[in-house]
Structure 1
Amino acid sequence: MDFLILCIGRFSGIPNIPTFPKNKGHEVFRGKVIHSMDYSNMGSTAAAELVKGKRVIVVGYVKSALDIAAECANINGSKYPCTMIIRTKRWNISDFLAWGIPIDYLFLNRFSELFRHKPGEGLVLNLIATLLSPSLWIFSKFTESYLLKTIPMKKYEMVPEQSFFEDVSLGLVSHLPENFYDKVEEGSIILKPSKAFEFYKDGILAEGETTLMETDLVIYATGFRGDEKIKNIFFSPWFQEIVDGTDAAVHLYRECIHPHIPQMAIIGHSEGTSNLFTSELRARWLACFLDDGFVLPSRRNMEKDITEWNKCYNKYTCGSSRFYRRPSIIPT
């Protein structure tokens, strides 16, 4: 072969399971513990039977966690409420408008890209970004004011510490299921912010709490270890070390090609508001390269480009590896 393309999927295969001190993890729990991957693989009928009539705790507060909690609430109602353990509060939205203006117009379009400094932008684009960048803060506060007005986050102590702009830059803004906070209001969903928790025989104890949350089923909606999945595909320890990265992230030129393995591309590793669109544009870029449309830079220049873009990402996400290890890429 002349070239290898990995399309093995980032959001499957190896679930991200939190670790616990000895005798504080799910091994001491006599109920059932699964990952959202297992839940979705069951199919709707089997999943409904699993949660029916059970006290369920969902760990997480992004896409899968919200959907699973809403499904449990629809099935069990307030008689067996679903509790969500939320380690990081998010600016999850009920619609894509902010005071009548589509959020896409504020954050996710070609014009909004002019508000950000980027590597190799040149003098004119640098000047435009310098003049327009304060608008990012204004847009963020504008959107936050609308969300605080329309979603009862304050009432349930769910206002995030970080800005909306930071969450949207990290690709961690999710759409709330229909009538989500109505289910919270009626007691079908219980929101429990907690940075940490530990297992006991009959349930979970959240950090700073003295009352045990008794439960029958715990569902981790904590994501996947996509980087580990890529690493484990190789037999060679040398290749494993190369793709392992230095901060739990694979560093790729154009979010596609590793500088040390220029005969291999990875599609589906980069993040975006819509991962399908992101992967499609990466695939088109790769097709152009394979059709001799351009030549890759040297390894040194590719590594330099990766470093510059990582600095750019960290600048606009406030170095938020504490929330998520990769930025959201909006390919335009």
Structure 2
Amino acid sequence: MSSNQNYITVSKVGIIGAGISGIAAAKQLSCYDPVVFEATGSIGGVWRHCSYNSTKLQTPRCDYEFSDYPWPERDNSSFPSHIEILEYLDAYARHFNVLKYVKFNSKVVEVRYIRDRGTAKLGESPGEYGTLTTGQSAWEVAVQINQSENVQWYAFECLVMCIGKYGDVAKVPVFPRNQGPDVFNGKVMHTLDYCKLDKEEANQLLKGKKVVVVGYKKSAIDLAVECAEANQGPDGEPCTMVIRTLHWTVPSYWIWGLPFFLFYSTRSSQFLHEKPNQSFLRALLCLSLSPMKRAISKFIESYLAWKLPLVKYGLRPDHPFEEDYASCQMAILPENFFLEADNGKILFERATKWGFWSGGIELEGKKRLEADVVVLATGFDGKKKLKSILPEPFCSLIEDSSGVMPLYRGTIHPLIPNMAFVGYIESVSNLHTAELRCKWLAGLMDKQFKLPTVENMLEQTTKELDVMKRTTRFYKRHCISTYSINHSDEICEEMGWKSWRKKHLLAEVFSPYNCQDYEEEK
């Protein structure tokens, strides 16, 4: 694609993506009149384009709201459906007049850096990162409008990438020769394709069919339940889940009669967990409290083993509960999941390797499962999305040798200039994580504070990675849940805000933190 020098310069800031992160960024950066490119015809991201009919939020609504726009019924303890979340997001965008910044059906197909690189090459001693807005355009953006062949180029001083880790690009297993989907006589699809079906089409796909669902995270669990519900009655076929890695699941946010937030979501509870840049005294305290940390994980595991038939179905993970929480992989079970399993409508098979044969799939040990439909709930490749539009050498810098994006404050890649990333780290509430970092980004662009040197930022990201590696084997998910309050503290301090946000000490120590605690200071 050739560069067109007649590009349009309409704003200092360009935002790619109009999901939760993109809308949050547009609102916080509204003083720059940003241009938001959205490839589809609506806002909402994965909530609109990668949700099943049964998809619900995994947290209470009071933990998933913008700090300046509470849910209408925020005390409602039920988990909102994806439809309710979209209605909430639409209402937020209209209330703050964010939609005027969005260019719908505008797919970004390429970006180019048009200034001299001020960042250091790998292996060299890095210096100052510089400012995000310098008065000169830094990025060209090629935009394909309404799926036409025509491409319009735009230029911006700063780009904010909000295309997210989920959706768009399916992560599909690599199969040995003659064991791929091409040898299978049935239908193979990824959950990304299943999400595009309406309720009637989904029911028609599943009803009376032998369905195999590959995976055991939230999307796989929800899909298995939908399959079971479509196959009620004597003529219904069971759904078989093929599981490589088990993860802890919970029926609700109550453990032995105690609210779940007591264990992980208060300031006092996070003293049990290691955090980056902790002082010697904090490290000593953390070490001395490590038996309590392990005891809490065992306490929760004991409840789940009592409450759920994990042993009966061979679904008890070998790793501690804390590792799933620390990697944001704990899933809330649908109420009827194990009821359907007890009724024989959901079956389970463990396999580290598998492939296709003409009549279904073959597990290691040569065990064969017959199938009419195989659905791959194997996740998404968010980094591949980024790499598809970023130029070299930046494309090669997206992830480090550990497979993690090195993002300072979860937002700035120290080696990629004039660009921010929102929505690429995870926590219990990704909306809160995105919004607070957008506020931090707005302060940075407004020059309220200055970034450390590139070297110092890289050192900070390395420390965070080291903590995640010591906490969970699933560190590549880049989840900060066990030290999210401390992470927010550092962001608040950098913005000149108070880091302790509660009204009194007792609440500060024992009450859970949520989005409302980070309402902008007047």
Q: Shorter chain as normaliser: what TM range?
A: over 0.9
Q: Percent identity?
A: 39
Per-residue CA deviations over 1:235-269 (Å, capped at 9, x if unaligned) read x2212112143233322112211101241111111
The residue matched to 1:42 in structure 2 has which SS? Answer: coil
Residue 223, structure 1, aligned to residue 223, structure 2: no
1: CA distance, partners of 2:166 / 2:254: 28
Instruction: Give the alignment's TM-score, normalised by structure 1.
Output: 0.94
- Provide the residue aligned with 1:272 in structure 2: 427
The residue type equivalent to 1:274 in the other structure is: S
Distance 1:108 1:17 in 2: 34
| Aligned residue in 1 for 2:334 | 177
Q: 2:364 aligns with which of 207, 210, 213?
A: 207
Give SS of 2:409's match.
coil
How far off its partner does 1:119 sit?
2.5
**2:404–2:478 contact (8 Å) kept in structure 1:** no
What is the deviation of 1:89?
1.1
Tell me the equivalent position of 1:5.
160
- Residues 138-287 of structure 1: pairs in structure 2 closer than 5 A: 138-210=295-367, 212-234=368-390, 236-287=391-442
3-state SS, counterpart of residue 160 of structure 2: strand
- Asked if the contact 1:231–1:244 (Cα under 8 Å) also holds between the matched residues in 2, the reply is no
Task: Give the conservation status (yes or no) of the 8 Å contact 1:228–1:244.
Answer: no
1:63 is displaced (CA, Å) by: 0.8
1:14 correspondence with 2:169? yes
RCO higher in 1 or 2 (8 Å CA, sep ≥ 6)?
1
In the alignment, residue 301 of structure 1 is paired with which amino acid? Answer: N
Separation (CA, whole Å) in 2 of partners of 1:327 and 1:103: 22
Structure 2 letter corresponding to 1:226? G
Looking at structure 2, the residues matched to 47 and 84 of structure 1 have their Cα atoms a distance apart, in angstroms, of 18
1:43–1:275 CA distance, 2 compared to 1 (3 A):
farther
Query: Counterpart in 1 of 2:460?
Result: 305
- What runs of 5+ residues in structure 2 fail to find an aligned partner? 1-155, 486-522
> Which whole-Å CA distance do the structure 2 matches of 1:220 and 1:65 have between them?
8
**Aligned residue number for residue 120 of structure 1:** 277
Deviation per residue, 1:38-69 (Å, 9 max, x gap): 11122222212211221111011111001110
Task: Kindly indicate whether the alpha-carbon contact (under 8 Å) linking 1:278 and 1:329 is maintained by their aligned counterparts in 2.
Answer: no
Asked whether the equivalents of residues 59 and 218 of structure 1 are also in contact (C-alpha less than 8 Å), the reply is yes
Q: Distance in 1 between matches of 2:384 and 2:267?
A: 33
Deviation at 1:209, TM superposition (A): 4.5
Q: Distance in 2 between matches of 1:154 and 1:312?
A: 31
Q: How many residues align?
A: 326
Q: Distance in 2 between matches of 1:216 and 1:247?
A: 38
Letter in 2 for 1:40: C
Query: What is the TM-score when the length of structure 2 is the normalising length?
Result: 0.61
Q: How far apart in 1 are the matches of 2:242 and 2:320?
A: 21
In the other structure, the counterpart of 2:193 is 38
Compute the RMSD of aligned alpha carbons. Answer: 1.5
Aligned-partner Cα distance in 2 for 1:71–1:166: 28
The aligned residue for residue 449 of structure 2 is: 294
In 1, the alpha carbon distance for the partners of 2:476 and 2:164 equals 17
Hey, what's the Cα distance between the residues in 2 that align with 1:288 and 1:127? 34
Give the letter aligned to residue 264 of structure 1: M
Q: Tell me which moved more, 113-122 or 123-132.
A: 123-132
Q: Name the amino acid aligned to 1:325.
A: K
2:288 is the counterpart of 1:131:
yes
Q: Contact (CA 8 Å) 1:169, 1:327: kept in 2 or not?
A: no
What SS does the corresponding residue of 2:398 show, helix, strand or coil?
A: helix
Find 1:326's aligned residue among 466, 477, 482: 477
Structural mapping, 1:96-107, within 5 Å? 96-107=253-264
Question: Cα offset for 1:117?
Answer: 2.4
Q: Which structure is higher in helix share?
A: 1
Offset at residue 309 of structure 1 (A): 1.0
3-state SS of the aligned residue for 1:277?
helix
Larger Rg: 1 or 2? 2
How far off its partner does 1:118 sit? 2.1
DSSP 3-state at the match of 1:237: coil
Distance 2:388 2:343 in 1: 45
CA-CA distance at 1:291 after TM superposition: 2.1
Give, in whole Å, the separation in 2 of the partners of 1:49 and 1:282: 43
Question: Following the alignment from structure 1 to structure 2, what is the Cα–Cα distance between the partners of residues 257 and 327?
Answer: 14
